[in-house]
């Protein structure tokens, strides 16, 4: 990855905002993938191998009146007698793509597990979520965001977690990168940090500027539920706890330009 100096980017984004930012939006809302068959709990496709350290579970979502699937890694040694009083942090991984399915993010597990084994991060629960019909949004009765918040509560009630924002970490790719950014800004009392990988902030900008319209097929229920307006709202409230947001994107990625601009946008708001 590479980033331009902030001084140059600040000039660029100021000029873009003055002229009206224009992004290429290759996927967001302009396809009908969300119309594909959707289930709140899914068995993985035959060609998808799930690591045996991941357990396929579900919980009942009151907001959706459905059992919602998720995959869970339980920390090594969790059930040992010597660890019965020990509590653990939680990593929530939000998948990319639409519609939602809990197996979609599980390919990231080997790297996450390796980071634990190498001591880069502590032993933690890792949760792979189902983001709903339009991934990680509440949309037309399919409440992906609310189901996620219910899942956080379920995990804390069911396992020995450290039930504190300082011990909850978000990460996600593409649609999931958009989701973790929104969740971190909207629910800073729940999460302390977020890693947004290759998030399509141009699609979020489209929602912000067009009264919720993401594209031909999708109009969001809440037009202010986007990474740009939520960042403004977060920055405007000095009582919000600090959330650290990391943006990661390859310089050949279609979302590269929007991440550069969004990086400076956050910096200018004082969000680091």
Alpha-carbon Rg for the chain, nearest whole angstrom, is 19
Averaged pLDDT for residues 177-195: 98
* Cβ count near 44 (within 10 Å): 15
Residues β-bridged to residue 197: 173, 248
Confidence check: pLDDT of 136 > 60? yes
Averaged pLDDT for residues 249-265: 96
Residue 8, pLDDT score? 39
Is 263 inside a domain boundary? Answer: yes
pLDDT digits (tens, 9 = 90+) for 61-96: 999 999 999 999 999 999 999 999 999 999 999 999
Is 23 inside a domain boundary? Answer: yes
pLDDT digits (tens, 9 = 90+) for 193-219: 999 999 999 999 999 999 999 998 999
Residue 203 maps to which CATH number?
3.40.50.1820
Higher pLDDT, 104 or 6: 104
pTM, entire model: 0.90
As a three-state string, the secondary structure of 101-156 is: CHHHHHHHHHHHHHHHHCCCCCCCEEEECCCCCCCCCEECCEEHHHHHHHHHHHHH
Averaged pLDDT for residues 149-177: 98
Residue 9, pLDDT score? 40
What's the domain count of the chain?
A: 1
Residue 209, pLDDT score? 96
| Dihedral sign, Cα of residue 106, residue 117, residue 115, residue 164 | positive
* Cβ count near 72 (within 10 Å): 18
pLDDT digits (tens, 9 = 90+) for 8-40: 344 444 444 444 455 554 455 566 766 678 999
Token couple for 264: 């400076």
Instruction: Give the domain range for residue 225.
Output: 6-269
Is 199 within 8 Å of 178 (Cβ atoms)? yes
Is 109 within 8 Å of 51 (Cβ atoms)? yes
Residues sharing a CB contact under 8 Å with residue 5, sequence separation 6 or more, in sequence order: none
Is 1 inside a domain boundary? Answer: no
Averaged pLDDT for residues 45-71: 97
Residue 3, pLDDT score? 41
């Amino acid at each position: 990855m590479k980033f331009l100096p902030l001084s140059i980017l600040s000039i660029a984004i100021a000029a873009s905002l003055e002229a009206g930012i224009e992004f290429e939006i290759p996927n967001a809302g302009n396809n009908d993938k969300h119309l594909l068959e959707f289930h709140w709990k899914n068995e993985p496709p035959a060609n998808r191998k799930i690591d045996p350290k991941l357990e396929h579970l579900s919980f009942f979502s009151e907001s959706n009146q459905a059992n919602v699937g998720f995959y869970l890694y339980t920390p090594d040694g969790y059930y040992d007698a010597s660890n019965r009083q020990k509590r653990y942090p939680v990593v929530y991984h939000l998948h990319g793509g639409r519609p939602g399915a809990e197996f979609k993010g599980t390919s990231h597990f080997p790297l996450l597990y390796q980071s634990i084994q190498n001591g880069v991060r502590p032993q933690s629960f890792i949760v792979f979520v189902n983001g709903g019909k339009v991934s990680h949004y509440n949309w037309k009765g399919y409440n992906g965001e609310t189901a996620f918040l219910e899942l956080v509560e379920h995990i804390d009630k069911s396992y020995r977690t450290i039930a504190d924002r300082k011990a909850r970490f978000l990460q996600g790719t593409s649609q999931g990168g958009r989701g973790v950014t929104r969740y971190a800004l909207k629910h800073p009392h729940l999460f302390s940090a977020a890693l947004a990988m290759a998030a399509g902030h141009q699609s979020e900008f489209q929602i912000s500027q067009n009264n919720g319209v993401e594209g031909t097929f999708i109009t969001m229920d809440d037009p202010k539920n986007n990474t740009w307006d939520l960042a403004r709202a977060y920055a405007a409230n000095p009582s919000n706890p600090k959330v650290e947001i990391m943006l990661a994107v390859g310089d050949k990625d279609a979302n590269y330009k929007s991440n550069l601009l969004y990086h400076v946008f956050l910096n200018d708001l004082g969000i680091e």
